[in-house]
Structure 1
Amino acid sequence: MNWFRRHRDPLAQAYRDATPRRPARRQAWMELTFLVLDAETTGFKVGQDRMLSLATMPIRHGDLHVGEAADWVVFQASAPVNAASSVHGILPSETAAGTAERAVLAALLPRLHGAVVVGHHIGFDAAILDEALRRHFGTGLRNPLLDTAALAMATLDAFARTAYPGQRPPTLEELCAHCGITPLDRHTAAGDAFTTAELFLLLCARLRRRLDRPLQARDLPFTHV
């Protein structure tokens, strides 16, 4: 273990040291740091496709810190025009002028320190990010994950889980329509991160009212990569 610590990139080691795999069960929600994250990619296959853009929005003490939001267009040598590009609209000329993927991850790692990573259908984005971190820094994504689709199904009666085998998680559009949120710049990483952050805060407020007490970490449906 000491050999790995000595040879691991300092940015990666600092991230690992600062980021427990899971918060304490009774840690107050207001004490948690959340990082809402969204990525747009070259396609939908983990291990094959790459990030084209990435955006983050921090939440601390229950407040959005918009001034600390960050977003990047990521350089990729090959960015095919395909079904994914018809959704996110990122042109090959844009990603050709983007920031190197390693530099984007180097800027992201300090933002990930000790945070719960939140996103809508976050599993895919987290898997893409995990693979990129392993390629560039030799460490996977350690953060606990929180999917707003899963949180909505646990919080809103309209989207509650049923025994129906064909049930699917709600889309971001469906949840925004139900909750009265106007999406910002849909299918851009920055717009989706901001919209998801608003939705997350609303869902947590609904869950707090349902439980009739302050939220704790144990109330949230965490997962991991």
Structure 2
Amino acid sequence: MNLFDLKSLCARLRPGPGKTNLPLLEENNRLCRALDQTRPLEDYVYTVLDTELTGLSARREEIVSIGAVRVRGLAIVPGESFSVLVRPSIPLPKTSTLIHRITPEAIAQAPPLAEVLPELIEFCKGTLIVGHHVGLDMSFLNRACRKNHGQPLANPCLDTMRMAMLWREKRTPSHYEQFNLSISYVLTDLAHEFDLPRFTAHEALGDALQTAYLFIYLAKKIAGNRPLTLRELFRAGQSWRWYM
């Protein structure tokens, strides 16, 4: 799925004819459906988020933590962040704890995702959502939104992994680069490659901050010396020829 494709993404996430039981979600989706794609990237408000999971299966696994930061004017907004531990309904595997260092004891008294969703939706309301491989995060969040409130989030998403691919092609437009096995799109590797500030990996708020710095860097690099509109970025993503 190419997450630069805002139109098709919105079509997949657009609420159906049923009513949601959460007015806040309906308001968010109304704002997102009315999004104007013709403004420069710096004009938008972004929510850069990350989730930590019990595992990687969107069908079986669950969220154990969420971190998010606000980007406005292509700058991180100090003090505007969201961070919460979530108690899943399934046991937390030991392998999961080894990755994100969240223990069963740490989440024993945490709220379930159903209680967290309204606060998260309020934080994301009317914004574009940015993430690294954001489709995975959104699959979990939208499954929960559908289950608890009847509709998914309609926020358009931008994937920093796709943006990194686009920027690499713009810098070195060689067909053979796609066969270069030394290229990595892992978040920490990209942060090192672009000499960005480093944060604790596999910690939701730390990864959200890392992704925010990466997003701002890539947005400015891709734009170059002229204003770049959201629609232009969307079209650049459409024309990009390497898909994973």
Q: TM-score, normalised by structure 2?
A: 0.80
Q: How does 1:64-143 map to 2 (within 5 A)?
A: 64-143=76-155
Query: What RMSD over aligned residues (CA atoms) do the two structures have, in Å?
Result: 2.6
* Structure 1 gaps, min length 5: none
What is aligned with 2:203? 188
CA drift at 1:165: 6.6
Q: Secondary structure at the match of 2:97?
A: helix
Instruction: Tell me the residue number matched to 1:207.
Output: 222
Amino acid paired to 1:143: N
What is the CA-CA distance between 1:162 and the residue it aligns to?
4.2
Superposed CA offset, 1:110-168 (max 9, x none): 22222111011111111111111111111112111111111011113578684647878
Q: Determine the C-alpha separation between the residues in 1 that align with 2:174 and 2:106.
A: 40
Question: Which protein has greater RCO, CA pairs closer than 8 Å, 6+ apart?
Answer: 2
Classify the secondary structure of the residue corresponding to 2:79.
helix
Q: 4+ runs of 1 displaced by more than 4 Å?
A: 157-169
Q: 1:161 to 1:101 in 2, by over 3 A?
A: farther
- Determine the structure 2 residue equivalent to 1:49: 61
Deviations 1:160-199 (A, max 9, x none): 6846478786111221111002321111001000111011
Question: Contact between 1:30 and 1:60, CA under 8 Å: does it hold in 2?
Answer: yes
Q: How far is the alpha carbon of 1:50 from its aligned partner? A: 0.7
Q: Provide the rounded CA distance (Å) in 1 between the counterparts of 2:81 and 2:24.
A: 20
Distance 1:88 1:162, change over 3 A: farther
Name the CA distance, whole Å, in 2 between partners of 1:65 and 1:197. Answer: 10
Which moves more between the two structures, 99-108 or 193-202?
A: 99-108
